[in-house]
Amino acid sequence: NAGVTQTPKFQVLKTGQSMTLQCAQDMNHEYMSWYRQDPGMGLRLIHYSVGAGITDQGEVPNGYNVSRSTTEDFPLRLLSAAPSQTSVYFCASSYRQAGQAKMVTEKLFFGSGTQLSVL
Amino acid sequence: AQSVTQLDSHVSVSEGTPVLLRCNYSSSYSPSLFWYVQHPNKGLQLLLKYTSAATLVKGINGFEAEFKKSETSFHLTKPSAHMSDAAEYFCVVNRLALEFYFGTGTSLTVIP
């Protein structure tokens, strides 16, 4: 059971380049999300998804796109990288509580992070 | 609106002395609150959570937190610090079980 897997672990981009950060989970979690972590800012939510085909914006969505075609995968796309997107990115997933109709998530399962530098 | 304020960006304690990491929150709803810990170059790990059951919540590694609605606080405590507690700690509020808002973090240093 691998949990939440993020690839790559490190990436260097030039301004204007595009790339996709991959996130996969093998726990059949409905909820998946992307965060960026910057010094002194904590973690800020970029986008999240409550199931295949459903995505929504978080606090800082600009410059990022997501899609959720399967339960397992939640890729984060940078269409035109900017230096302001230099950060550590974390993917996290969670599950619906048993017996609950709503998406009541209690615990986030985090990937190990992707360190992205945009020059 | 939901937000979390961690009142101290850095806390230093001596090994064996109590730890207090302070967190205030604001929420339009009855919140779910969490503390996460991040050790250097590691991912984030859940320490404990409050979800409207008992106001005093016990977590892993001897940590506790008390939910005080009147003070809108959710401070993290531990009676006796250990060297292995040195890490970054994040207070988190959950909105409608969909969006998690993290505080800016408190870096805990434990002095031998």
pLDDT band at B17 (very low <50, low <70, confident <90, very high): very high
Chain B positions in Cβ-Cβ contact with residue A31 (cut-off 8 Å): 98
Contact B19, B76 (CB under 8 A): yes
pLDDT at B61: 92
Rounded to whole angstroms, the Cα distance separating A54 from B21 reads 36
pLDDT at B97: 63
**Whether A90 and B49 lie within 8 Å, measured CB to CB:** no
Task: Tell me the three state secondary structure of residue B85.
Answer: helix
Of all residues in chain A, the one with the smallest CA distance to B2 is: A59
pLDDT at A108: 86
Give pLDDT tens digits for B100-111: 889 999 999 999
**Per-residue pLDDT averaged across A8-13, rounded?**
95
What Rg value do the Cα atoms of chain B yield, rounded? 13
pLDDT at A87: 96
Task: Tell me the three state secondary structure of residue A102.
Answer: coil
Judge whether residue B19 has pLDDT over 80. Answer: yes
Give me the amino acid identity at A108: L
Rounded to whole angstroms, the Cα distance separating A115 from A36 reads 10
Task: For residue B110, give how far its alpha carbon lies from the nearest alpha carbon of chain A (Å).
Answer: 20
A108 compared with A82, residue with greater pLDDT: A82
Give pLDDT tens digits for B39-72: 987 778 889 988 777 889 999 999 999 999 889 9
What secondary structure, in 3-state letters, does chain B show? CCEEEECCCEEEEECCCCEEECEEEECCCCCEEEEEEECCCCCEEEEEEECCCCCEEECHHHCEEEEECCCCEEEEEECCCCHHHCEEEEEEEEECCCEEEECCCEEEEEEC
pLDDT at B103: 92
Contact A68, A32 (CB under 8 A): yes
Task: Name the average pLDDT for chain B.
Answer: 89
pLDDT at A100: 59
